[in-house]
A and B are shown apart, each in its own frame.
Chain A
């Protein structure tokens, strides 16, 4: 019941976010053919860029001269970064909004266990995140079909579509845990949106500076780094383990805490 109702409430947001984000990437990809034509000039230009910038945007490992390389540098960042913002906004509110708007009393007075309540809310998050990524990936795929110059490969594309789902699940689980913990939506938003940006910059910094390389382990963005995917055509096993660990710990903690929580409005 809760799932159906939440799905109805969140459908519009889901469509708006995926269409705007997908559309943005779609438009961006339309530059690619011009870009590829001027490949040689471009490479000369690239040489002129400082090493740090190239590393920060993965341009030292990926060639902008392939469709997926271009996407990895220009579009993938939007999907992972902006997509994560969408996800934490959704997940951070999903439980806390019931408490801040005092509607939790309504739900708690119904014959449904707290565990079942959270399960349905988690299910909603999973379905929305997957739908969001599927929609965006479909729009991407259409863009690739239009601008492809023969360099498109399906496997890296598939991996670059799946990896953001893992990233989004990671942030969603953290935001979900906070959502069961705190009552004020605004607090959760500032913490989670902050976390998304900070971890994003950790990844950028860690790829620029050799001394700070160790920081990359603290950034979920590193776990889904597109350069790895394009170069190795696989997801890093260790990182998948990290991601799964974070998701499991946050989810279990949320259930455990919420089951014993005193909820007085």
Chain B
């Protein structure tokens, strides 16, 4: 069963088209990254999925249920972590978590609150007015996991967490993943996406420009070619599939997408001091999508 299914989902604010024609789906049990820079429409999409805002056109389903008409049932299954967690300032953490739990059919064991907050080093007796941004985020994490959701929807989940906490957080996510929980999160920190996700969707100015597994995006299509040249030498392979070529000093960097055999063949005709061919990081692919292909040139 599909965990999330978007069908030409669009959202317009007045003249501003925040999200256009988004169509993609997330399988149950998958860890799915939703990436794009600030203002690309990630949060808008997530808020539409949770029915905070209404789509202008198109539709979406979560576990086969319509996001508008069945939103209440959907939320029994969703754990949501907002990018900036805001809570009631005069409440204590423990009170808030109990309040949160009281909305769900499945009432969580008291122990779960204790366990989670212990792992995240969260003080349950503090009031929100005394909590830092990072600590509020931790409350958000506990609050999202408490009722054992089938799907986690998270908007910039690691913002505000220190590296140690991020590590604990990813451990928690892996445990959820093992239980079969679907994880859908937006991010602009690509290393964490690359570490966690099976598949990613890249969104730019509200449009989907790539939607593939990380392997396909990094392995099959792109090669980073770094050639160390002789002094004073310059080299032009003149090969189809060179997307980017830049020479700094004696180092020539090429981003290549195409037939690897043709590349090797062309290289064998040349002389050079050294050669490295590697997979680019998701970062580089992302930059590529953003800088060189304004219309979104994913091969689909």
DSSP class of A's interface residues: helix, strand, loop or mixed?
loop
Q: Which residues of B have CB within 8 Å of A39?
A: none
- How far apart sit A189 and B253, CA to CA, in the bound complex (Å)? 63
Decide yes or no: A102 and B53 within 8 Å by CB, A1-B99, A264-B47 being known contacts.
no
- A237 sits at the interface (CB 8 A): no
Per the CB 8 Å criterion, the residue count for chain A at the interface is: 19
1/0 contact string of B77-102 vs chain A (CB within 8 Å): 01010101011111000000001101
Instruction: Find A110's partner among B47, B54, B75, B88 (CB 8 Å cutoff).
Output: B75
Q: Which residues of A have CB within 8 Å of B105?
A: 111
- How far apart sit A1 and B105, CA to CA, in the bound complex (Å)? 12
- B52 sits at the interface (CB 8 A): yes
- How far apart sit A95 and B130, CA to CA, in the bound complex (Å)? 24
Q: Which residues of A have CB within 8 Å of B23?
A: none
Distance to closest chain A CB from B11 (angstroms): 9
Contact B104 A111 (CB under 8 A): yes
Decide yes or no: A108 and B102 within 8 Å by CB, A101-B89, A103-B88 being known contacts.
no
- A105 sits at the interface (CB 8 A): yes
**CB closest residue in chain B, given A265:** B86
- A44 sits at the interface (CB 8 A): no
Contact A263 B88 (CB under 8 A): no
1/0 contact string of B19-31 vs chain A (CB within 8 Å): 0000000000000
- A49 sits at the interface (CB 8 A): no
Contact A108 B72 (CB under 8 A): no
Distance to closest chain B CB from A185 (angstroms): 14
- B117 sits at the interface (CB 8 A): no
1/0 contact string of A244-265 vs chain B (CB within 8 Å): 0000000000000000101111
Instruction: Find B75's partner among A1, A9, A109, A264 (CB 8 Å cutoff).
Output: A109
Decide yes or no: A110 and B100 within 8 Å by CB, A101-B86, A265-B86 being known contacts.
yes
Contact B99 A5 (CB under 8 A): yes
Highest count of chain B CB atoms <10 Å: which of A101, A105, A113? A105
Distance to closest chain A CB from B40 (angstroms): 15
- B73 sits at the interface (CB 8 A): yes
Q: 4 closest pairs, A vs B, by CB?
A: A102-B86, A110-B103, A111-B75, A262-B53
Binding site for B on A (CB under 8 A): 1, 5, 9, 101-103, 105-106, 108-113, 260, 262-265
Query: Can you sample 6 A-B contacts with CB below 8 Å?
Result: A5-B99, A102-B84, A103-B87, A110-B75, A111-B75, A262-B54
